[in-house]
Amino acid sequence: MNTEHHIKLPEGSIERTTTTLNLGPTHPATHGVFQNILELDGERIVSAEQTVGYIHRAFEKIAERRPYYQITPLTDRLNYCSSPINNTGWHLTCEKLLGVKTPKRVDYLRIIIMELARISDHLICNSVVGVDSGAYTGFLYVMQYRELIYEIYEEICGSRLTTNMGRIGGFERNFTQAAFQKLDKFLAEYPKVLREFEQLFNRNRIFMERTIGAGPISAERALNYGFTGPNLRAAGVDYDVRAHSPYSSYEDFEFDIPVGKTGDCYDRFLVRNQEMWQSIRLIEQAYEKVKEFKGAESEVFHADIPEYYLPEKEDVYTKMEALIWHFKIIMGEIDIPPGEIWNSVEGANGELGFYLISDGGRTPYRLHFRRPCFIYYQAYSELTHGAMLSDAVIVMSSLNLIAGEMDA
């Protein structure tokens, strides 16, 4: 702990030293557990020292003990507001290591669930920025539509929040009729809700005065701090992993990348709203393409890789090869090629990277998650330097800090 806290203020200030205020780790405004020790001169913040690690769960060490398909539930709990993106990112990493190419239908279905997850995460972040500035209505209203997204996830994989969705090579079962009906319902109802949400906040005088100018960052400083995702795009840099290094057939679709100017809270809010519109556009395009698959092609939901993908149970009980593959996969007798690989996906709050070193064994030798929130939270003291105390809270919630991902 840094014991020297009180900073002497210059001559002519009202106080002699600063006041120490401890914000967290349990605090209504910190969505997740991280601590900030603020030194205040009246209401102005002179310095902010962060302490993280209150929910350190040792993911990287746990991953060294688990076979590749058992790491998916672990990745769920990184950025738990948008678990399908983490799951798909991990599966893409494994597929890159194993040299597996997934069929187009699987890619398009993955895009649909990833963009739904992105909408789900941005809804939480933006409505919580509203809650922190006093506007509880937006939060309650959009929670209803997050329930629709949860129902879609339930149809696909059975779980609402920590989805463990998909397998290496595709999905565990085909999307049912009910899932597509719920997706239709969502696409019919949601755009109107997003428009109402925007009307509530975008030109709302109180909200604008609260957020404009709070926590700005320039593009050069943001790049130096390793910012990625909507925070970097709000600062003016159009870096999006989906466009730069397309994965899962994103190159087949058209979408824009919204970019802000000053990188303050208002820009971050607007960038996230615009990204939700782009996500809706992507889901609609991907859904159209999925509907074009007819007949036998519409039954494809995984790549044809018997070495890594568990066979159907009917086949396991009746055919010899399926039984052998089932045994080998579960007992870990599959040859995983040794190598080291870096893969990254555009998570809802930034570039989520996976650095995997495999030594040919059943479990990874080393797995490191490049977690975006951990990296950009370092900039918090620079973002709030000289700001008022109320800005400290707004900046924290507009950065979209998810404690589970930060501490991993």
Partner 1 sequence: MSLTNDFIKQRLIEKFGDSIAGVEEPYGMLTFEAPKELNLKVMQFLYEDPELRFRFLTDLTAVHYPGQPGREIAVVYHLHNLVENIRIRFKVYADVLKPDIFTATQLYSAANWMERETYDFFGVNFVGHPNLKRILNVDEMDYFPLRKEYPLEDQTRIDKDDAMFGR
Partner 2 sequence: MARPVRFNIHPILADPKRQIQLTNMPDGHTGEGFFATRLSDVVGLARKNSIWPLPFATSCCGIEFMATMGSHYDFARFGAERLGFSPRQCDLLMVMGTIAKKMGPVVKQVYLQMAEPRWVIAVGACAASGGIFDSYSVLQGIDQVVPVDVYVPGCPPRPEAILDGFMRIQDLVGHESLRRRHGEQYKALQESYGIS
Q: How far is the CB of 342 from partner 1 (least distance, A)?
A: 6
For the CB of residue 180, give the shortest distance to partner 1 in the complex, in Å: 35
135 touching partner 2, by CB under 8 A: no
Question: CB 168 → partner 1: shortest distance, Å?
Answer: 16
Distance CA 123, CA 133 (A): 16
Is residue 340 near partner 1 by the rule CB under 8 A? yes
Query: By C-beta, is 149 or 406 nearer to partner 1?
Result: 406
* Integer Cα distance of 322 and 329 in angstroms: 10
Q: What does 290 bind: partner 1, partner 2, none (CB cut-off 5 to 8 Å by kind)?
A: none
Binding of partner 2 by 174 (CB under 8 A):
yes
> How crowded is residue 304: how many other Cβ atoms within 10 Å of its Cβ?
12
Contact between 181 and partner 2 (CB under 8 A)? yes
Q: Is 22 in the site for partner 1 (CB under 8 A)?
A: no
Judged by beta carbon, residue 56 or residue 366, the one nearer partner 2 is: 56
Strand 19-23 versus strand 44-51 pairing type:
unpaired
Q: Which does 26 bind (CB under 5 to 8 A by kind): partner 1, partner 2, none?
A: partner 2
Residue 57 near partner 2 by CB under 8 A: yes
Contact 367, 63 (CB under 8 A): yes
| Sheet of 19-23, strand order | 19-23, 35-41, 44-51
Binders of partner 2 in range 151-170 (CB under 8 A): 160-162
The least distance separating partner 1 from the CB of residue 269, rounded to whole angstroms, comes to: 24
Nearer CB in complex with partner 2: 56/261: 56
For partner 2, the binding residues in 27-46 under the rule CB under 8 A are: 27-28, 31-33
140 binds partner 2 (CB under 8 A): yes
Q: Considering the complex, what minimum distance in angstroms separates the CB of residue 298 from partner 2?
A: 8
Query: Judged by CB under 8 A, does residue 407 bind partner 2?
Result: yes
CB of 248 to partner 1, least distance (A): 17
Q: Taking the complex as a whole, how short is the minimal distance between the CB of residue 73 and partner 2, in angstroms?
A: 7
Is 237 a binder of partner 1 (CB under 8 A)?
A: yes
Least distance (Å) from partner 2 to the CB of residue 263?
27
Interface residues toward partner 1, by CB under 8 A: 1, 52-53, 56, 58, 60-62, 64-65, 96-97, 221, 223-226, 237, 239, 244-245, 339-342, 344, 351, 353, 355, 357, 365-366, 368, 370, 374-375, 377-379, 407-408
Interface residues toward partner 2, by CB under 8 A: 25-28, 31-33, 53-58, 61-62, 73-74, 76-77, 80-81, 124, 140, 143-144, 146-147, 150, 160-162, 174, 176-178, 181, 299, 403-404, 407
